[in-house]
Amino acid sequence: MAETKNRRTLLERAQAIFKLVEYEDDPFPKSKLQKVGLNPTTAEKWLDLIVYIQKQPRIRLIRTRNNTIIEKHEQKYHTMSREIFMDSNRSYEERFHALQDYLSALITSEKLRG
């Protein structure tokens, strides 16, 4: 029974992964995730999940007394532009233009929302 008390929540596991990533300056092998208690199979699943989530539109949570409302914060165009300007394999100029497009589209959509 004591083992279940020490189990980390999903949020605690994600925080541990990102804390390690933040600490490391250089690229590192996934085996380093053993430092935060993840075996190679579990680490691979977490990494796949993180990469998948990072490619999705951003959301915002609105918590009320009785509900949690999920609002999509980005449209598909925003997500595509963000993916381009975050891609270090693309040229600086291409990334810069994608960033400008992203910001312009974001400002426009926020103005339309009111």
Helix (H, G, I), strand (E, B) or coil at 58: coil
Q: Is the domain of 41 the same as that of 70?
A: no
Query: Domain of 41?
Result: 1-54
Residue 5 confidence class, pLDDT cut points 50, 70, 90:
low
Cβ atoms of 20 and 36 within 8 Å: the answer is yes
Looking at residue 2, its pLDDT comes to: 46
Q: Is the domain of 91 the same as that of 68?
A: yes
Q: Is the domain of 4 the same as that of 49?
A: yes
The domain tally of the chain equals 2
| % of the chain surpassing 90 pLDDT | 54
Question: What distance in Å separates the CA atoms of residue 13 and residue 49, rounded to the nearest whole number?
Answer: 12
pTM as predicted: 0.67
Domain boundary among 54, 72, 91: 54
Q: Helix crossing, 40-54 with 10-23: angle to 10°? A: 90
Residue 1 confidence class, pLDDT cut points 50, 70, 90:
very low
